[in-house]
Structure 1
Amino acid sequence: MKKVRILVALLSTMMVLAACGNINTTQQSPSTTNKKKTQTTGQTDSGNYQGVITNGHYLTSKSRGVTNDQDANQLNLKSFENGLLNVSKKQFKPSKYVFQEGQYLSSGTVTDWLGRKSKDNPDGLNPVDNGQKDADKRNPLYLQAIEEQDYMTQNGNDLKLGGITIGIGLNSVDYYTKEKYGAQYSTKISDEQMKTQGREIAAKVLKRLRRTKGVGADTPIVIALYKQAPDDSLVGGTFFSYDVSDGNALGNWQAINQRNVVFPSAGGTSESGTSNDESNFENFKTQVQNFFPNLSGVTAQAQYQDNNLAGMNVTITTQFYSETEIISFTEYLAQVAPKYLPAGVPIDITVQSTDGVQSFLSRDAGQRKFTTHVFGSY
């Protein structure tokens, strides 16, 4: 059973590992690309894309948020979307391309593609239902999500399609019920199955895109494969490979060595290459909790690229109610964070309570000091 779900706008400070960093306050003015209809947003940071505004409104995606009806891990949704941007930057540099939300795949098209192949849905990219209910005998749903991103080139007052990126979200676990409203069961999908199915699906998606009106026969198309994290995971999933095609075939898949971890880890550090980073985080956590006892928890999500720490998001849950407490705590964090947290990588720190976000600290990769903001009640 499929349904269209609209992604809830989440604070990127809480979930996005790859998009850590400060915003440059020097903003370019929006530039007009069509005197009557189209503008670009301008850039606040050279590492980010300009977007497209049409008729005074941001041009939204035609299919964003369409997924199969089983993704209970909200971290997957944000990691998928932001991770796809990072893959796109390998092929489409923000200095040369303008980002446009997907305009070629409609929500109806993506909904059909995400379904099982059947007489009623011949376009389904998931396998036919073989009628089996046992975890090891049934045909699982491999494909969970498809997202399109368009990249435009600007020539004078015109924007022209310069490339497309497609993200293919694949299940590591397929959750199902044997009867309507019944107990939940699951089928585990091996990495090898996921890779094989993902590449087969990618080849079909590429051929269908080439037949889509407005997509050129030689328009560069990037297809990236994403491993969904299980529903009970404390982190989102990661992309594990991508390919670029200028024609009708794929055959040069590039591996993406990426993983997400949580600090403190359950039962101690088991991931290779994370022990020093977790030790530094534990020292930071101890220091903070010693000075401010009214804390409900201090955790971090860290992302590793090629076994090197690429970014960290720290979440601190407090029981503060006084504005002066929050201000004092935020100022203290700005002093101790550079001493204990890993240097040389972007780090975001979110201070929150049951009432919402109270303050936010951020540091880019090339900086030592943190910028801070306390959210007031006015």
Structure 2
Amino acid sequence: MSNHIKKIKLSLVLLATVAVLAGCGNLQNSGLSDGESGSNTNSKTSNYQITGTTDGTQYSALLSNGKYKVSATRGLLTDQNANKFNISSFESGLTTLSKTEFSPKKYAFQEGQHISRTTANNWLARQSKSNPEGLNPVDNGKTDPSTRNPIYLQDILEQDYLVRKGNSYQLGGVAIGLGMNKVDNYRKEKYGAVYKTTISETAREQQAKSIAEKILSRLRQKKALANVTIVFGLYEQGEDDSLVGGTYFATAVSKSGTNIDQWNTVNEKNAVLPVVNNEKAINDGDSDSFDNFKSKVQSFFPNLSGVTAQVHYKDNKLAGMNIKITTQFFGENEIRSFTQYTDTAATQYLPAGIPIEITISSVEGMQAFLNRDSGDKTFYTHVFGSY
């Protein structure tokens, strides 16, 4: 099986079910200390494996008895977030930040096991007499957008990283993502109109850093986390109606202790192309390239319902592009021909040297997929058959 096909299968599986991860690569057995892994089992004979070797740029995931170990807070992000794009960029962004501290060549990935769903819900709630653990400010009883205490912290995400020691793995570090609101939507009464409190950048950053230190102190009280490296990523949530997710704006590393001495700025931006409502593109050249690509593919058939792109910038440079093409094609030959044409247009017009994913879909689902990794010159294409 080629690396390209593995990548497609993995992308689809992550969207549909994590259970099939056991099939991606040759499974490798290893023993794992239960106490250090945060495992819920007391058995010392459990069979631990990883999903397979990688090229060192992506993590292998840890399996327990051949099964993917889901997060202790599974489903919480979906419950807390009205913008699906926030969920994916929140998770993938934290994984990317973690690579600086936890190299995929040395560490294996596991969903967070140390913060339970009950604990996370208590932390995300307001502080009160009945919930002293709440990390959001007390309700001051005011309902005006400018005078009420908003909800600053919207999401918490934990990721665990385990390092191989001989024939076993042990917990090597933890990454914590904090999803901070830029706008807090609320109702003055149940089922009433939705109001908005806009949170300034300064207030959001101050609150996020304060909350991170409180969480660090609490995590250090756990025996398994007393001396491991803990990475924090501060994430600005995209608004509920945004067509892109949010971005990380700061990160810090705690090797030991309960204080965070240094925060590093993360310069990231997300946007949608084509621009609308006379908004200014982040980069005019990238916007023009996409417009040329869009015009070219739309000239192929009149059956396109839309061509849009989500673009990601890091340090003011284009770092990735995800393009969605919605069609009304019915025949497989139409789809196959259009995919070939899209490949040609993408190679000719889209920016070179960056990772690009293009999905071609109808109301019935995905019809074709194109992918180009960073540094590659050509696209891999796949048309989904009906058999």
* TM-score (structure 1 length as normaliser): 0.90
| Residue in 2 that maps onto 1:307 | 316
**1:244 aligns to what SS in structure 2?**
strand
CA contact (8 A) 2:47 2:66 kept: yes
Cα deviation code 1:292-347 (max 9, x no counterpart): 21101111010000000000001111110111110110111112211000001000
Contact 1:358/1:375 (<8 A) preserved: yes
CA contact (8 A) 1:114 1:125 kept: yes
Choose from 220, 228, 232 the match for 2:237. Answer: 228
* Corresponding residue of 2:264: 254
Q: Alignment partner for residue 29 of structure 2, among 32, 42, 45? A: 32
| Contact 2:180/2:235, CA 8 A, preserved across alignment | yes
DSSP-derived class of the 1:260 partner: strand
- Cα distance change on mapping 1:68 and 1:327 into 2, 3 Å: closer
Does 2:179 correspond to 1:169?
Answer: yes
2:78, 2:334 → 1: CA distance? 44
- Are 1:146 and 1:168, in contact at CA under 8 Å, matched by a contact in 2? yes
Structure 1 gaps of 5+ residues are 1-10, 17-26
CA contact (8 A) 1:363 1:369 kept: yes
The answer on 1:370 being equivalent to 2:367 is: no
Question: Residues 303 and 328 of structure 2 are in contact (CA less than 8 Å); yes or no, is this contact kept in structure 1?
Answer: yes
Cα contact 1:148–1:165 (8 A) shared by 2: yes
Residue number in structure 2 paired with 1:65: 75
SS at match of 1:61: coil
Give the letter for the 2:28 counterpart.
S
1:119 counterpart letter in structure 2: K
- Paired position in structure 1 for 2:153: 143
- Show the counterpart of 1:186: 196
Q: Is the 8 A contact 1:127 1:141 kept in 2?
A: yes
Could you tell me how far 1:128 is from its partner in structure 2? 0.5
Shift, 1:195, TM fit? 0.1
Question: Cα offset for 1:203?
Answer: 0.4
C-alpha displacement at 1:213, in angstroms?
Answer: 3.0
Aligned to 1:121: 131
For residue 333 of structure 1, what is the aligned residue in structure 2? 342
What CA distance in whole angstroms lies between the structure 1 residues aligned with 2:78 and 2:124? 7
- Report deviation, 1:202: 0.2
Ranked by relative contact order (alpha carbons within 8 Å, sequence separation 6 or more), the top structure is: 1
Out of 77, 80, 89, the position equivalent to 1:79 is: 89
Identity of aligned residues (%): 51
Residue 353 of structure 1 deviates from its aligned partner by: 0.9
Q: What's 2:19 paired with?
A: none
> For residues 112-146 of structure 1, what are the alpha-carbon distances to aligned partners after superposition, in whole Å with 9 as ceiling and x for unaligned?
11111011111000111111111011110000010
Query: Which amino acid counterpart does residue 310 of structure 1 have in structure 2?
Result: A
Asked if residue 279 in structure 1 is aligned to residue 288 in structure 2, the reply is: yes
Contact 1:169/1:225 (8 A) holds in 2? yes
User: Could you tell me whether the CA contact under 8 Å between 1:70 and 1:175 is conserved in 2?
Assistant: no
The equivalent of 2:228 in structure 1 is 219
Give yes or no for contact 2:235–2:248 (8 Å, CA) kept in 1.
Answer: yes
Contact 2:322 2:357 in 1 (8 A): yes
User: What is the RMSD of the two structures over their aligned residues, measured on CA atoms?
Assistant: 1.8
Instruction: Map Cα deviations across residues 9-56 of structure 1 (whole Å, 9 max, x no partner).
Output: xx958x99xxxxxxxxxx762211127421111134431111111122
Pairing 1:158–2:158 present: no
Q: Show the counterpart of 2:252.
A: 243
Partner amino acid, structure 1, of 2:148: R
**Contact 2:80 2:155 survives alignment (8 Å):** no
Shift of 1:84: 0.7
C-alpha distance in structure 2 between counterparts of 1:282 and 1:318, whole Å = 18
Matched letter for residue 122 of structure 1 = P
1:103 has 2:107 as partner: no
User: Is the Cα–Cα contact under 8 Å of residues 144 and 170 in structure 1 kept in the other structure?
Assistant: yes
Q: Give the Cα–Cα distance (whole angstroms) in 2 for the partners of residues 375 and 244 of structure 1.
A: 43
The corresponding residue for 2:4 is none
Instruction: State how far apart, in whole Å, the 1-side matches of 2:78 and 2:360 are.
Output: 33
What SS does structure 2 have at the residue aligned with 1:32?
Answer: strand
Q: What is the number of residues matched between the two proteins?
A: 355
C-alpha change, 1:68 and 1:187, in structure 2 (3 Å) is farther
Report the equivalent of 1:210: 220
Distance 1:267 1:171 in 2: 24
The one-letter amino acid paired with 1:371 is Y
* 1:296 counterpart = 2:305: yes
Q: Could you tell me which of 199, 204, 210 is aligned with 1:200?
A: 210
